[in-house]
Chain A
């Protein structure tokens, strides 16, 4: 079945550092790929998405490129802020009836 693997956290960075959170997936066909962010005590919010190979999703300075050849969708940001501290989930939608398949989440901590 479909699965998503993301780097384990917590990931701790200093403010203004470069961020990469790795995400790889296993799926049949060509799924849509997503990054969701969860701030403390809140639900998940869609951060960005890409629906086909080589698409780049971007939002709030975050980017991720759909790489079919490496089955990856790594999340990047050039300069992180303390307010980016949250849990980030990579997810895919494979066309089945059960919505999204999520990774386990990566807890990001940004220190001032």
Chain B
């Protein structure tokens, strides 16, 4: 039973490029959360999605960041025109149902902007 799969594990982008981070939730899970972890910081909530719906994006920067979770395929976190401050570890977590906060985390994508 595969856990939450994130890819790539490491992503290097130059300033101004786009970064796409993918997350496949655990089998049977239809809810996905994205978190960002900056050095020496805890995890900060970014966005909560169900299939084809954004439930809560209150933690996501208003510009350059977007997320989707289509009916088929993984959830995608997209960062356009990356800047150095976007360098962080981005974690995806999934849960089987709404309000079920026993989250299962992926191993994260470490984004480095040069």
Contact A98 B103 (CB under 8 A): no
Contact B91 A44 (CB under 8 A): yes
Return B5 CB to nearest CB of chain A, in Å.
11
Instruction: Give a binary string over B19-52; 1 marks a CB under 8 Å from any A CB, 0 the rest.
Output: 0000000000000010100001111110010000
Contact A49 B102 (CB under 8 A): yes
Does chain B have a CB within 8 A of A24? no
CA distance A100 to B42 in the complex (A): 11
Does chain B have a CB within 8 A of A69? no
Residue picked from A34, A36, A45, A100, most chain B C-beta under 10 Å: A100
B91 proximity list for chain A (CB < 8 A): 43-44
Contact B42 A98 (CB under 8 A): no
Closest residue to A6 on the B side, CB-wise?
B42
Does chain A have a CB within 8 A of B76? no
Contact A43 B108 (CB under 8 A): yes
Contact A100 B105 (CB under 8 A): no
| Chain A-chain B contacts (Cβ-Cβ < 8 Å), number | 60
- Tally of chain A residues near chain B (CB < 8 A): 24
Return A29 CB to nearest CB of chain B, in Å.
14
Does chain B have a CB within 8 A of A82? no
Contact A105 B59 (CB under 8 A): no
A105 proximity list for chain B (CB < 8 A): 41-42
Contact B58 A44 (CB under 8 A): no
Contact B107 A99 (CB under 8 A): no
With beta carbons under 8 angstroms apart, the residue of B43, B55, B104, B107 that contacts A42 is: B107
Q: Please, could you name 7 A-B residue pairs with CB atoms under 8 Å apart, sorted by A? A: A32-B101, A36-B105, A93-B101, A97-B56, A99-B45, A100-B43, A100-B101
